[in-house]
Amino acid sequence: MLRDVTAVRYVTPLRSGGSVPAVVEADDLGTYVVKFTASAQGHKALVAEVIVGELARALGLRFPELVLVHFDPAIAADEPHQEVRELHGASAGVNLGMDHLPGAADLTPEIARVFPVDPLEAGRIVWLDALTVNVDRTVHSSNLMVWPTFGTAAPHLWLIDHGAALVFHHRWDTTAPGKKYDFRHHALGHYGPDVRAADAELAPRVTGELLRGIVAEVPDAWLAEDAGFATPDDVRAAYVDYLLARVRLSAHWLPTDFPSREQLAAEEALRAARSQAGRPAWLKQVPDLHGKPAAAQDWSVHLG
């Protein structure tokens, strides 16, 4: 089961995402990134975080520990932004925390050019995302962190942020568990992910027993908003049934068609050219900050 901790010190909000999570210190001496129950994404984002994150951990992928964080808005009373204080006030009680990875770096396209990823590891991550329909791990928003693992010299990939996964649960579309989604622009696509080997390794491990244990960790209150079900346990059973049906149909949705680095670069150049073409003349001298990334650090020095 997910451990319960109590937030004792509010460190800082993280405004890079729409959910405005916060870094807090807890009574177990740990530091966590907290996603609040009253955020715009709603409870289903937290449900997806728990199910996909715990499934990733169960399959041996690197994902920070999740905890249930009891949060008293009084500890963040000095937060200067009213909207953030209102979010805290509406989130009193149990929220979701993820172990903070201090000093971790986003896997940006610049870092990805020099950071090595084994094709089987890439395949496992792509396979998990395809199984859970995680549409938010792209070349532009990887939701992957590069972080050292204690006892080793080299940093590793860590998965974060699965709130956009399990898209079927927003309208409970369970009619097509074998539906194929477009993962051509997955953040790890250019590493040549061996998704067939990952499927052979991981699919047999996704059992009903494993899934039932994972969904049992989701608090009842986060499942209560599904009006189409009589009880939270009925919602849990629906997640188990859908994911079991999907894993059995992996041959239908297994993504294998990934563009190369060169194709990605050509697509990006074309997109940037179209963006410039649509600008008025007086704006064409202003750099397209979205079309051309800022100069990257020489990460080869750090990644050795």
Query: By CB neighbour count within 10 A (0-12 exposed, 13-18 middle, 19+ buried), where does 42 fall?
Result: middle
Return the pLDDT at 274: 76
Query: In the predicted model, is pLDDT for residue 150 greater than 60?
Result: no
| pLDDT grade for 213, boundaries at 50, 70 and 90 | very high
Return the pLDDT at 1: 84
Q: Which of 43-57, 142-156, 160-174 has the weakest average pLDDT?
A: 142-156
**Structural domain count of the chain:** 2
Residue 31 near residue 10 (C-beta atoms within 8 A): no
| pLDDT grade for 232, boundaries at 50, 70 and 90 | very high
Domain membership of residue 265 (yes or no) is no
pLDDT digits (tens, 9 = 90+) for 243-285: 999 999 999 999 998 877 787 777 777 777 777 776 676 555 5
Which range marks the domain in which residue 158 is found? 105-253
The more confident residue out of 293 and 13 is: 13
Question: 263: which 2 tokens?
Answer: 């194709």
Percent of the chain with pLDDT over 70: 88
* pTM (two decimals): 0.87
Residues 110 and 186 in one domain: yes
Show which of 99, 114, 134 is a domain's final residue.
99
Residues 128 and 205 in one domain: yes
Show which of 65, 99, 133 is a domain's final residue.
99
Residues 17 and 141 in one domain: no
Show which of 238, 253, 268 is a domain's final residue.
253
Domain membership of residue 282 (yes or no) is no
